[in-house]
Structures are given as C-alpha cells and as structure tokens.
Amino acid sequence: MNRYLLAILIIVSSLTVQSCENRKFTQSITFAVDEDYMIQISGANTFDMFFTRQDIIAQLNFPEQMRVTKVSIESISGTLSSNPSNQAAFFHSSGQIDKPNGKVQAWDSEGGFIPIPFPVIEPTFNIANSAIQEGIEELANQIFDALSDENDTSTLALEITVKPEAGKLLAINANFKIVASVEYEYCQEVPPFFSEDGEECDL
C-alpha cells in the first residue's frame, strides 16, 4: 500500500476514534394498521378496530435512543369486494375514536361523502372528503402518547359504523386501513468531519 495513503488512513482512523461526537437527527417513518371484516347487514351496524403500541412498534425499526416528536394520520381507507348475495347499491360509513371520557367523531360519509356504488368500479375509498379534524387529531394524539411511553399497554379503539342502502342487504368483504407517519429524533455518534450535521444530542 502506498505509504502516503496508509498515513492518511491512520490519521482519519485516529480522528474517528478519538473525536466522535453524539449528534441528534430527525427521521420520519410510515406504518399501517388494518383489519378485515366480512359484513352482511341490512341496517346500521358497528365494527370495532383495535390496536396497541406493540402492533405499531413491531413494524418500526426505532433506534434504542429516540424521542417521538410528531404523529400524522396520512389516510384512513377501505378496500372492498362484494359477494353474490349483496343487494345494496351503496352504503355510508362513519368512525369514532374512543376516549377516556367518551367518543369523538373522526369521519361521517353522510355529511357530504358520495356513497360507494356497486358493483365496485374503484374498490378503494378514502375518508378524506368526510374527515372530521377533531377526531383525526385525537387519533394522532393517542398514537403519539402510546409511542412516547415505552410502558404503555393501552388499546386504541376505533368504532366503524356501516349503514347500507335502506331495506337492502349489504354483503361485502372490507379491509379498513389506517396509515400514519411518525417523526422522531435520535442520536448517533459521528466523526468530527460530520459534526456540523445534526444538533447536539439532548436525549
């Protein structure tokens, strides 16, 4: 090996070992929770969706030293397929988030959302047009609280109400999915020539 190259490698190695700094960085990652339902109803009915901190953590590769700073709900959607016994041409849906002191509405398709026609042309629908900000924020806050406490064992609950066309049997298979993004801070040892990146670690 060229002696000059060897000298440079020795110097760089020495600086890396002796002068690494612990710096703070920000990262964003996305996760999804979903549930399958076989629905056969002729009137309004409710379906529960439950998930826990562990259900979320199992999908995320968090570093050991980190702090969650923000959770955002990216979408709440459903993927649908009807079966031969279905009679309904459409349905409405709404969702409520459980709180310690009651429930808060997250969406309501009867407040202006166009019902889904059958047979399904576009098998996926999104509640964006019928979302209620208070409920969406409540869901994000509950996920934030769960992820921020490593000892959290609570269950987050979403109550989904489905209301078919009046007097008709609604027979569908549905997959409801929540997609959210998590922003977090973490610390990492970096060589001195990278020390201007990130902020001083305070975790």
- Identify the pLDDT of residue 187: 84
CA of 28: how far to CAs of 64, 116, 127, 195, in Å? 16, 33, 23, 21
Mean residue pLDDT across the chain:
84
**120 has a pLDDT exceeding 70:** no
When pLDDT is averaged across residues 122-141 and rounded to a whole number, the result is 86
Please state the pTM of the whole predicted model: 0.81
pLDDT bracket for residue 188 (50, 70, 90): confident
**22 has a pLDDT exceeding 90:** no
Taking a C-beta distance cutoff of 8 angstroms, is the pair 140, 106 a contact? Answer: no
Q: What domain count does the chain have?
A: 1
When pLDDT is averaged across residues 65-69 and rounded to a whole number, the result is 90
pLDDT bracket for residue 21 (50, 70, 90): confident
- Domain encompassing residue 12: 3-200
- Find the DSSP H helices in the chain: 3-19, 53-57, 133-148
- Identify the pLDDT of residue 62: 86
Q: Which two tokens stand for residue 165?
A: 């066309």
What share of the chain in percent tops pLDDT 70? 80
